[in-house]
Amino acid sequence: MVRKGARKARIPLTPATIAALEAYLGVGGQLRQGHLWELVRRFGPHRPDRRVGQLSPHSLRHSVITFASLDAGAALRDAQDYAGHKDSRTTRRYDHSLDNLDRNAAYTVAAYLA
C-alpha cells in the first residue's frame, strides 16, 4: 500500500481477507480507491426510507482506528503506526474517550501505588 507522500506501508491481512480480495479482484489484481467505494456501496446500509449517515472508506478507516485500536486498549503509538500518522496529535483526534475518567492517568498511578 502507498500512503500520502509516497510512503509505503505493509498491511497485515488474515487468510480469509486475502481469499476474499483474490476472489473480488482476480489473481494479480490491484485494489484501487474505486474498488473501495464500490465495496462500501455494495455492503453498506441501504435504507431508502432514511439516510443512515455518511458511510465512506474514510469513515470506515476512522471507525477501525477508534474502535479496534484505541477503544480496544491499544497504545496511542500502536494506533498511530496503524493509521500511518506522522504526528500523534492527529491520532488523538480519533480517541473519543479522552473525557473518560477511568482512563485518566491519576487512576493508573493510584492503582499502581495501591
List pLDDT tens digits, range 57-104. Answer: 888 888 888 887 777 888 888 888 888 888 989 988 887 766 667 667
Q: For residue 50, is pLDDT > 60?
A: no
* Residue 84: Cβ-neighbour burial (10 angstroms; 0-12, 13-18, 19+): middle
pLDDT at res. 99: 66
Return the C-alpha cell found at 49.
426510507
* Domain count of the fold of the chain: 1
Q: How confident is the model at residue 49 (pLDDT cuts 50, 70, 90)?
A: very low
Q: For residue 13, is pLDDT > 60?
A: yes
- Residue 107's domain comprises 4-113
Place of cell 439516510: 51
Tell me if 60 sits within 8 A of 40, measured CB to CB. yes
